[in-house]
């Protein structure tokens, strides 16, 4: 059944042609029945008139303006040649609706005018012998009503289609704008990540310089301290190389950074301060650390800090006034696990799926970019029991 419906929608002219054949048959059979009942002959022009009006129905959606003109010509010919009304004249009503719905504006106005004039002209040409003048006028007005209703219905369909077309165009435009905003957000976030990683690398290099200077100073007097300094230089250098490798491929904006930006970025030690700030602002936060705490690469610590920061910010924004949050840091042998949950209302679905419906989900875009930079994984979404959950695993990849 669905296939038949789809076929009919793809071939509207076939449907109109079917009804045109039905209308032609009813008109010819009806005229023949009246001829037999009244003992009169069917006018010779009746069949061509019926055929042309049936053609109007068959091609009404393919050529609405031309079929309107054809219908008007046939109607005028009926009046001039005294061809009485037949069931095929129903095509006039159909073409008025069609032109009002899909035709040009000039054709729509012409169809309304012709439809309102058709009934009075027909009543004047073939008045009812049993009715007086007042009855004929009233009958003309009554017969004009269907034409007016057909035009109003068609014009309403036109307005509705135009409204839906406008909505579709607007939705498509918003979709393009959302994609453009998401791309801009990703590019901006990549540039910001590049700046922050640059700060981390610069910090590591400065540590190496200080350690190298110290090792050179105590090389003769305290060889053990010099050896320890060299080991620190080696470890720090490996971390710096790892950060530089992750930095490759990230586009920089080329903008001049302010002097205040070139400072070591926050790490895991500052997460507790961040949690305390959230508590002071009125957001209850439960903070726990599992595993053996130790120093991690600066890029991993910075990523962990930013994820917790953004997650708690989202809780304050979307969780509601009575929301609470929990933060878990889990130290593994080969990585760091993060789990941030809240029991609030949770963020809308559009804010964590592909950058947001309106392109404003840039915080979670930033999380994914950061986690991707350190080769980790991120899972963000609503909790089954309500609220929001963010889980991340940040591996400790050795530098090669």
pLDDT for residue 163: 92
pLDDT at residue 19 greater than cutoff 70:
yes
pLDDT for residue 346: 64
Give Cα separations from 387 to 263, 328, 341 (angstroms): 35, 16, 7
Residue 306 to residue 283: CA distance in whole angstroms: 18
pLDDT for residue 278: 81
pLDDT tens per residue, range 254-291: 444 443 444 456 788 889 988 888 887 678 999 999 99
Give Cα separations from 219 to 207, 212, 248, 392 (angstroms): 18, 10, 36, 43
pLDDT tens per residue, range 181-213: 888 887 777 777 776 666 566 656 766 777 787
pTM: 0.49
Measured from the Cβ of residue 155, the count of other Cβ atoms closer than 10 Å reads 17
Whole-number average pLDDT of the chain: 80
Which among 344, 400, 338, 325 is positioned nearest to 370, based on CA atoms? Answer: 338
Q: What is the 3-state secondary structure (H, E, C) of the chain?
A: CHHHHHHHHHCHHHHHHHHHHHHHHHHHHHHHHHHHHHCCCCCCCHHHHHHHHHHHHHCCCCCHHHHHHHHHHHHHHHHHHCCCCCHHHHHHHHHHHHHHHHCCHHHHHHHHHHHHHHHHHHHHHCCCCCCCHHHHHHHHHHHHHHHHHHHHHHHHHHHHHHHHHHHHHHHHHHHHHHHHHHHHHHHHHHHHHHHHHHHHHHHHHHHHHHHHHHHHHHCCCCHHHHHHHHHHHHHHHHHHHHHHHHHCCCCCCCCCCCHHHCCCCCCHHHHHHHHHHHHHCCCCEEEEEECCCCCCCHHHHHHHHHHHHHHHHHHHHHCCCCCCEEEEEEECCCEEEEEEEECCCCCCHHHCCCCCCCCCCHHHHHHHHHHHHCCCEEEEEECCCCCEEEEEEEECCCCC
- β-strands 388-395, 335-342 pairing: antiparallel
pLDDT for residue 351: 52
pLDDT at residue 238 greater than cutoff 80:
no
pLDDT for residue 171: 92
First to last CA, the chain: 64
Q: What percent of the chain has pLDDT over 90?
A: 24
What structural domains does the chain harbor?
2-126 (no CATH), 175-260 (1.20.5), 266-395 (3.30.565.10)
pLDDT for residue 355: 42
pLDDT at residue 7 greater than cutoff 80:
no
Residue 376 to residue 306: CA distance in whole angstroms: 14
């Amino acid at each position: 059944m669905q296939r038949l419906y789809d076929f009919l929608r793809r071939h509207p002219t076939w449907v109109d042609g079917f009804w045109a054949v039905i209308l032609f048959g009813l008109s010819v059979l009806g005229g023949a029945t009246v001829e037999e009942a009244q003992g009169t002959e069917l006018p010779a022009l009746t069949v061509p008139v019926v055929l042309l009006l049936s053609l109007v129905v068959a091609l009404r959606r393919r050529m609405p303006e031309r079929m309107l003109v054809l219908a008007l010509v046939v109607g005028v010919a009926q009046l001039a040649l005294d061809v009485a009304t037949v069931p095929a004249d129903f095509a006039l009503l159909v073409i008025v609706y069609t032109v009002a719905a899909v035709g040009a504006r000039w054709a729509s106005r012409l169809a309304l005018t012709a439809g309102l004039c058709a009934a009075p002209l027909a009543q004047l040409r073939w008045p009812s012998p049993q009715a007086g003048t007042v009855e004929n006028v009233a009958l003309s007005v009554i017969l004009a009503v269907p034409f007016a209703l057909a035009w109003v219905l068609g014009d309403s369909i036109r307005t509705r289609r135009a409204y839906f077309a406008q909505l579709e165009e607007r939705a498509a435009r918003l979709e393009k704008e959302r994609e453009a905003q998401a791309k801009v957000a990703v590019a901006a976030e990549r540039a910001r990540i590049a700046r922050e990683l640059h700060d981390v690398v610069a910090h590591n290099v400065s540590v190496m310089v200080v350690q190298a200077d110290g090792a050179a100073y105590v090389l003769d007097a305290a060889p053990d301290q010099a050896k320890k300094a060299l080991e620190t230089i080696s470890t720090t250098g490996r971390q710096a190389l790892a950060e530089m490798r992750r930095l490759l491929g990230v586009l920089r904006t080329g903008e001049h950074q302010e002097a205040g930006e070139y400072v070591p970025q926050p790490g895991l030690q500052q997460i507790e301060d961040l949690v305390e700030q959230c508590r002071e602002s009125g957001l209850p936060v439960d903070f726990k650390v599992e595993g053996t705490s130790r120093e991690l690469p600066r890029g991993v610590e910075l990523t962990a800090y930013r994820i917790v920061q953004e997650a708690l910010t989202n809780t304050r924004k979307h969780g509601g006034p009575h929301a609470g949050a929990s933060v878990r840091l889990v130290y593994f042998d080969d990585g760091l696990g993060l789990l941030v949950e809240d029991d609030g209302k949770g963020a809308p679905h559009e804010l964590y799926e592909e950058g947001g419906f309106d392109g404003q989900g840039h915080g979670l875009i930033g999380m994914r970019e950061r986690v991707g930079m350190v080769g980790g994984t991120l899972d963000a979404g609503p909790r089954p029991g309500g609220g929001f959950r963010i889980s991340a695993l940040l591996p400790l990849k050795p530098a090669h």
